[in-house]
Structure 1
C-alpha cells in the first residue's frame, strides 16, 4: 500500500490533490518553488478544509486531518526523499514540467512512482526528462480535484507493468475513479471537452444561438444525462440505427464535421443496434430495458430535485 506521498506544486490543483490524499489517511509532503510558498499553500488548504467541513462538504474533522497529514517541505528534494508516490502539479509549461520531473527523479527512491498532472502534454515526451521512466505515468485530476471523482491514468510506452494498477488502487482508496487512458495528445477528457466546445463556438459564430442559449440547452438536455450515462450508453439506449440516420442528415449539411464514425457503421451493418438487440457498444440485454428505464427515471428525477434545491449559478452572460 502506498502511504507516503509528495505533491510538487502547492497551487489550486496540487493543493486539492494533497487534501484528497491526506483525507484518505496518507502522509503528504507539499513542495513548491520555495519553503515559504509551500507553507502558504499548506495553510491555505487547511483553511479550505475547515470551510468545506463547515459547509458539510468535508467530514467534520477535515481541518485537523489535513493539518496532521500535510507538511510543507523545505525543497522538492526534501519532499520526495522518502515518497512512495510523487504527483507533479506545476504549471502546464513543458520546460517547467521537464525540469521539475528531472529533479524529482534524481531525488526520490528508485522504486517510487512518479505521476504528472499534465492535461495535454504527451506523457512519452515528459518521460524523456527521467532517468528511470519505467515508473512514470500521467495522473490527471480534474478541477476541482477535491470533488471531481474521475482521474485519467496514462501510461506511456515505457511504463512498467503494474504501475497503472497501483495508482488506480491508491485513487480508489481516496474516493477517486482512476480510468486508464492511452498516451495521445489531449488524452480522452480534453479531446471530448474541446470537441464539444468547438461545436458550441460554431453555433455562436453562425448566429444559431447565443452563448447563454447554448449553455442552457446543453445543461438541460443531453448534459442532464451525462452524470449517469456516458455517450456510448446513451447511444445504445437511443438505438444505433437512429444515430446512423442522424449522422447521415447532419453530414449532408456539415460533411467535414459530421461524417459517420466507422465504428458506428460497423455495428449497424452487423445488426448490433444497442439495447433493443442486446449488443451495440455495450452488451445490455433487451430484457433489462424496463430496469434501465426505471433507473433512468429515478436518476433524472433525483437530479431535478437537487437542482431545484440549489440556487441558480452565479454566472452572468
Structure 2
C-alpha cells in the first residue's frame, strides 16, 4: 500500500529515512528550516543514491525511483498537509521538538500519524506539544538509516494501539524490522549500547586492556554472535545455570556491579536452564536444539566469510 509521507528535517538521519520510505514506493515530502536547505539536501540524496547504486548498495534504478517519489516542500506545513504519516527528525532539543511538533499538529490531518526519530527524549514529554496525542509515538531509525534493518517503536502512555500497528506496518513495508518498547529513559537500544560502552571504558581506565584490544574481543567473540542471536537466545543456548555460575564468579571482584539478576536466578531455581531443558527466556523446545546448533554453526561460518570478503575496516 502506498502512503503519502512527510519527513520534517532533511539532514543525515531524516534524509536517509526519506530514501528508505521513497524506495518502498511511498510519496515522500521533505521539509527543513528553509526551502534552500531542503533543496540542497534533496540534491544530496539524489547524488548519494547514484553512488550507492554504483557501489551495489542500492538496487539498479533506485535513483530514478527517488526522483519520482521524493519531493521538496517549501514549508513544514506544505509537507505535512496531506500526509498519512509524518516523521520528525529535527535536532535533539526538547524546545525545538515542541515547536516543530506544534507546527506539524496545526497543519496535518487529524488522523495523520506523527512519529519522532528521537533516540533519547521522552515520547511523553514531546506528546504535550501534539494535538490529538494518541496518534503520536517514537519511530527511531538507526544510523545509517538506509542500511540498519531495525527500528525502535516507542508509544507513550496515551498512544492508541492502532497507531502503533499502522506505524509498524509502514516501517515493515520497507523491509525493516520493528521492536515495540516502553517510553523509559534511553528506551532499549541506547540503554544496552551505553551499558556496554560504560563497561568498556571502565576496563580501559583500570588498565585491563586497550581500546583496540577491547574492540577486537567484542568483534571476534560475543559480538560476533549478535547479528544472528540476541542476548536471551545466546544465554539460553549457553545454559542459564552456566550464566548463574559466571555471575557468582564475577561477584568475587565486583559484588555490586555484577549482582545476579533475579529473573535469571528464578529461572534456574525452577529448573529452566535454556534450550537443554526446553525452557528458559525464550522457551525453545529441547527437540529443536540440534537444528538450532546446526543453524548457529552455519551462520557463524557465513559471518566469517562475509568479514573475510569485506576485508578489515580501514581504521588503521
Query: If the TM-score is normalised by the length of the shorter chain, which range does it land in?
Result: over 0.9
Partner of 1:233: 233
Measured in 1, the distance between the counterparts of 2:146 and 2:255 equals 41
For 1:188 and 1:245, locate their aligned partners in 2 and report how far apart those are by CA, in whole Å. 26
CA contact (8 A) 1:2 1:170 kept: no
Structure 2 counterparts to residues 133-152 of structure 1, below 5 A: 133-152=133-152
- Structure 2 counterpart of 1:194: 194
Distance in 2 separating the partners of 1:101 and 1:190:
23
Q: Which residue of 1 aligns with 2:275?
A: 275
Q: TM-score, normalised by structure 2?
A: 0.99
Q: Structure 2: state its 5+ residue gaps.
A: none
Could you say which residue in structure 1 is the equivalent of 2:92? Answer: 92
Q: How does 1:114-263 map to 2 (within 5 A)?
A: 114-263=114-263
Give the alignment's TM-score, normalised by structure 1: 0.98
SS in 2 for 1:5: strand
Task: Tell whether the 8 Å contact from 1:4 to 1:82 is kept in structure 2 after alignment.
Answer: yes
Q: Is the 8 A contact 1:116 1:140 kept in 2?
A: yes
Tell me if the contact between 1:19 and 1:66 (Cα under 8 Å) persists in the aligned partners.
yes
Q: Which residue of 2 aligns with 1:54?
A: 54
SS for the counterpart of 2:161 is coil
Task: Give the Cα separation in 2 of the matches to 1:26 and 1:131.
Answer: 25
Deviating beyond 6 angstroms after TM superposition, the runs of 4 or more aligned structure 1 residues are none
Which consecutive unaligned segments of at least 5 residues does structure 1 have? none
1:140-196 CA distance string (max 9 Å, x none): 000000000000000001101211111111111101111111110110000000000
Match of 1:36 in 2: 36
Deviations 1:48-101 (A, max 9, x none): 111111111111101111111111110100000000100000011111111111
The 5 A counterparts of 1:69-84 are 69-84=69-84
Per-residue Cα deviation, 1:258-304 (whole angstroms, up to 9, x for no partner): 11111001100100000000000011111111111110111000011
Instruction: Report the RMSD for the aligned CA atoms in angstroms.
Output: 0.8
Query: Using the alignment, how far apart are the partners of 2:84 and 2:53 within structure 1?
Result: 29
Rounded to whole Å, the distance in 1 between the matches of 2:166 and 2:245 is 43
Structure 2 SS opposite 1:152: strand
Q: How does 1:297-308 map to 2 (within 5 A)?
A: 297-308=297-308
